[in-house]
Structures are given as C-alpha cells and as structure tokens.
Structure 1
C-alpha cells in the first residue's frame, strides 16, 4: 500500500528541521544563521563563517582568534596518509583522492565520543584544517613533486593557494579565494548535505560523514558542474557560437551547464557575487576570453528560458574565477568540498542533537509469489 505520494528525488519533501541556512528561491535570498550571504561575503572571512555555521553564532574576537589558531596548528597531515596518497594513480580524479584521504583520516581518530564537546571540536578543527592540505598535496604529488608544507604565517585561503604553488598569493587573489569559500560553505539540504546527515544518523565518526559527502559532491549534477561549465565554454569557443549552441541544446533537450537550480527561480545570489569577483580579477590580472562567451550565454539563455525560472547558478561563474587564480579545472570541485566541509560539519553537529536514523520507505514495483526454479531447469 502506498502511504504517500512518491516524489522522484524527494523533491519538496522536508528531510530535517534545521536552523543552519535558509533559501528563498523566488527572491534570490541565501542566509547563514539569518545573515545574508552578501553581508558575509563583504565583511566576514571563511573561518569566521564556518564558526557561525557550526556553533550557531558569530564568535567574539577572542573566540575567533583561538579558533583560527587551532585550525592553523592542525594543517599538517600524517606522513602515512601522505605516503598513501603517493600511491594513488596520477590519472585519478582529485575528488576520489580526497574521499579516500578523508576516510583514511578517520583511521587515526576512530574513537566515537559523540557526546563529548571536546571530541566534536577537535574533529571540526582537524577536518577544516587538513582537507585543504590533502587537496593541495595530491595536486603536487600527481605531478611527481613533494607536497608543500603549510605556511603558518598565512591565513586559511592564502595558505591553500600557497600550498598549490609555494608562492605567496597576491592579496586580492587570496581575498577572492576566501570569499569563494564563504559562498560555497553551506546551502540547505542539497545532495551532499543529505548524504552527510544520513551517514551521521548512524552515529558513525565525522570522517566517514565527510567522506560520504565528498563522494556525493563529485557528481556532475552537484559539485562537478563547475568543471563542465568550463568544458562547455571551451567547446563553444566564441561569442558567435553561443546562440547556435543554446538552440542546439534546447532542440536536443540537453542540459545547459551552469543554468537552472532546483530551488532558485531567479539568478543565484552567489552567481551575482562571483561575477563581480571575476570582474575584479580580470581588471587586475587581465581578461579571460571565455568571460565574453559566458556573458553572452547569460543573455541568450535569459531570452529563451527566463520564463521557466532558469538563470545562472553558483557553478556558472565560479570556474572562471578559479581559472584566473591559476587553478586546474579538475580541482574546482575539491575546492567546493574544502568550503562545504563547514556546512557538512554544521549538519553533522545538528543531526547529533536530536538524532534519529534515516529510514525512508519505498514504492515497490516488483512482482510477488514467484516460484524458485532449480538451476538445472533454467
């Protein structure tokens, strides 16, 4: 017997009560703990935003200083994890390397003391601190180079860019990287966050929670979309080809990467901020020819699909920002993961507060009362 209407993808069905973030898709509003994303992008930094998401309020000056110092002192990874990563195939995707490494981290801290606030804080600090180190380390090791040690004189985003290049980044580049992390830190009950909460509900350790979420984020319909946007822009090649490309997609009913969102029916507010960041980078470091293509695409897609509420989402401009920062395309989604760890951990902590294991039902479509046939008669 069907107890309720089946909704593919659980569309519109609440999976949890949460006080972490809020989206109004009709008005283009995104809030973290009630604070608009535009305010956080302008005034906050990533670790302060992470603290806000995880502990529910902005830290005092002393609390933020202590938190930043804790994260700074835990950036280094175990040599055994580093040795394990060296054995990964060079052709492997960085998201797969990150998922394996995050899971392996749990081997060293497998004690599950989920009612102990010290254990929870230590896990939060360790995951926030080491995930960027793992991403940067794999990027260098797959080229045959040793990883770069963290620079304790640099803040969170600047240190990540330093570990990729062993060069201190330009202050504008570091600030823009930090804002990108803020923008990607949390977004209600998306696929990877739902994965994190389902895993958390079993009362496993937080490293398994993050590893499961990383695996979910890697798909092209979720975090992997920003990679495909760049591939799409490269395929289009010129502004003149934009309209024929869009027309072809519509005729084939093919998805146009970077456009449309399950929640937003207006332009994603994060896309608006990212577009401004891209323009700041281009003004200082030179234009990207694909930006003109992207702008034309936004015009053409709006002309043809705005009546359906299809506008640029967060993935559309993020790749252009990362390209200008010199980041390889297949690191775009791992950077998304670096940021989203904050949101996943916030949901992990919230899930523990009133936990009940997820056990949804299903609509059975199979047959009944089938007789077994011995193998000799098949």
Structure 2
C-alpha cells in the first residue's frame, strides 16, 4: 500500500507535470478538441455516409437552423416516418443502408434479416469462457472485451478483403445485442444478487424483439414496445464521422489494425460521460429534479430548481442542465423531435404521462433560464439524451443497459465508417502536437 504522504506527492506530481498553461493554446492557435473558436469542428475528412446539419455560416457567422440528420442521402424523418407509417421494423433496413449504401428491396431485406439471425449465436463455449467466468460491473467494458475476444475465434482475423470485412461486420452487428444481454444477466447474478435467466434465441425475432425477449423473465413484450425500441435504435445508428467514437474507429482503422480492435475502441469511447454515457447523467438529473420538485406541473417551482442547478447549487453543481444543447444542432435535434413525439404517444394514459410533461417543461424553460442566469442567448435545443432514458424506462430497460443499447445501435455506423476509411482513407491519421516543454540537463541519480 502507498502511504498518505507518498500518495499526496504522487498526486501533486501528476497534476504539476501534466498541466499546460492555457496561454500556450492561444499562442500557437491550437484547436483543443479539434474545435474551431466558434465551436464548429475542424474538418478532418470526407464522408458519403452521414450528414449532421445544424447551422449555416453566413458571412462568417453561425446561423441556427432546424437540425437535419441524413443517412446515405436519406433524411432520418423519411426513414423513420415511413417505417412507422407502414407499421414495420426499420433498424435492419438502416443497417443494410449504412453498410451497402442503398436501400434494400423486400427480398434483399428478408435475406439480410435471415443473415443476421444466422450470425447471432456465439461461438461454442464463448459465453462460459468470455462472459460467465469474467463478470463485469460495467456492461460496456464487457462488450468491448468480448469483441476483442471474438478475434480469437476468427480463422482469418487479419484478412482485409472487402467480402471478409463485410462478413465480420455483419457477424459483430448480429452478436453484440446478444453479448449485451448475456453480460447483463451475469452482472445481475454476480453483483446484484439477483436471479440470472437465459432464454434461447428465437430466429424469427428482429434485433429489438430479441433484446426485449432476452431481458424479460417471461420473454413477453408488445408489438408497440418492440417498435418503439426499434425506432430508438434507428435514431442512434449513425451520427457522422466527427463524433468521438466514430472518429476513434476511423483513427484505429487508419493504422491498419484489425476490425475487432477498431470496434472495441469505439465502444470504449462511447462509454465516456461526455459522449454516449451522457444518457446516464441525464437520467440521474431527472431523478434529482423529480425528488426535489414537489409539484411537477408548477412551472415556477421547476424553474426555481433549474436556476439552482445553473447557479451550481443543486444536482452535481456543474452549472449544467444535461440533455440540453448540442455541438452541432441549434434550433432542434431531429432525433429528439422524433423520439419526443413517439414517447408522448407511448406515455399517454400511463403512469409515465406526468413525467413526460415534466421533461417537456424542462426543455421549454431551459433556454430562457440560461439567458436569465448566464446571459447567454445561444440557440439551445433538447438533444436525444433528454428523452432516450425516459423511453428506455418506459420499456423496462434497466439503466445498466442505457449506454450499451447506444453501442448496439451505433455499431452499423462504426462499421460503415471503417469500410470508408479502408477504401478511401489510405493514410494513417496523425495530427501534430506542439511541444512546449523546455530542454533540461540530465542530473545523475546521486545528485538529485
């Protein structure tokens, strides 16, 4: 064990020797976080896969607009809207579109769904050796480790041929939801002292149905429930090449490494609370507001508590209201708009209706309170995290699976970007870092 004095010294050295004076970033025009001064992202690549559009630049000034999310040229409102209108599941169609670049016809989609079902089972002894014997309190870490482990079950994991990359991607997309649910069951038994239940796979289930059947003791779910989860997965499937996890996948891919390593790294990135893990923070904030606001329908009381949060007097005292604002979207996040409308429909007439009204109140009040408390009139909209945790809870999905569900949904997007990097990138991604440390003369150990 390290004693207290040594620990304090180590911590002091950790901070001192890893701190760079902020003035150097301005002096050398370093764009921290690969962000420009106006908040826009530094252009680091080109893509045909997705466009995330939330503002226009007019004479050097960012102008807010309604957000748009485009998958392979198709507006997300059209993709989701038509699936809902036709009363069918859409996630597998989105997977096909992202991987292959075109929408499938009925026969192609049916064959693709069959391919996913055939690829869903895990290799022999994989569950017992890689999941059951090494339980994890965090499902994201277990999913990342499991993908790396699949490398060992691949007869030719270093094969970069297009057909092999496609087969590997489909295999991982198919298996990851099953890995997630199994890791959750093992976590329940090992760390939560709850019963673990393992259901056989039903080859007739699509991805959303498979997940609901796997996490429920009786395997029962309604068609509306499965289609709401399917809709959320469609919205989370892709979000451009610049988001942290997708960029991480492309960075690793550019080095020439194997797909298992690249996809595992993307999961590690998504776990972060500044990225996919934000949905956990939003849910925790909602619980805090619910516990501290007596009358959820009293906008004045809700506003008073939000002001306390903005003044760093409540919740985590960060001065932030989570679920509000986005790096790209300004007037609206199309994912949040779609999800909110469907969440409202699902909540009406249930015990969740009152909570939905509370979330709507938080969304409406936050921009004006930001102006009042912080003097900021920056365009601010609800992002997808404002309502995703709420929808998961309506579906009975435990908080342990909020971010893992994001990873399961986003895997097709990561795969598509890996393909594009392999075919088009051709150069290792290596940005420059300016060294600001001064040269020092070496001192022999006896003279230190």
**Shared fold per TM-score greater than 0.5:** yes
Instruction: Please tell me whether residue 122 in structure 1 is matched to residue 175 in structure 2.
Output: no
Residue 135 of structure 1, CA deviation: 0.7
Match of 1:226 among 266, 279, 283: 279
Partner of 1:268 in structure 2?
333
Partner of 1:364 in structure 2?
435
Partner of 1:292 in structure 2?
357
Partner of 2:401 in structure 1?
331
Partner of 2:45 in structure 1?
16
Normalized against structure 2, the TM-score is what? 0.80
| Larger Rg, first or second structure (1 or 2) | 2
Instruction: List structure 1 runs of 4+ shifted beyond 3 angstroms.
Output: 1-5
Counterparts in 2 of 1:190-205, with a 5 A limit?
Answer: 190-205=243-258
Partner of 2:31 in structure 1?
7
Measured in 1, the distance between the counterparts of 2:338 and 2:170 equals 28
Instruction: Please tell me whether residue 245 in structure 1 is matched to residue 305 in structure 2.
Output: yes
Partner of 1:38 in structure 2?
77
CA contact (8 A) 1:199 1:209 kept: yes
Measured in 2, the distance between the counterparts of 1:340 and 1:284 equals 32
* CA RMSD, 1 decimal: 2.0
Normalized against structure 1, the TM-score is what? 0.94
Match of 1:283 among 348, 359, 370: 348
Measured in 1, the distance between the counterparts of 2:384 and 2:159 equals 36
Change (3 A) 1:213 1:291: same
Q: Deviations over 1:202-252 (max 9, x none)?
A: 122211111000000001111011111111011111335532332123223
Match of 1:212 among 265, 270, 284: 265
CA contact (8 A) 1:136 1:147 kept: no
Partner of 2:417 in structure 1?
347
| Number of equivalences | 375
Change (3 A) 1:365 1:147: farther
Residue 361 of structure 1, CA deviation: 0.4
Partner of 1:113 in structure 2?
159
Partner of 2:201 in structure 1?
150
Measured in 1, the distance between the counterparts of 2:330 and 2:108 equals 38
Local SS of the residue matching 2:188: coil
Match of 1:162 among 203, 206, 213: 213
**Structure 1 stretches lacking a partner, 5+ long:** none
Residue 99 of structure 1, CA deviation: 1.1
Instruction: Please tell me whether residue 139 in structure 1 is matched to residue 184 in structure 2.
Output: yes
Larger mean Cα displacement after TM superposition, 355-364 or 286-295: 286-295
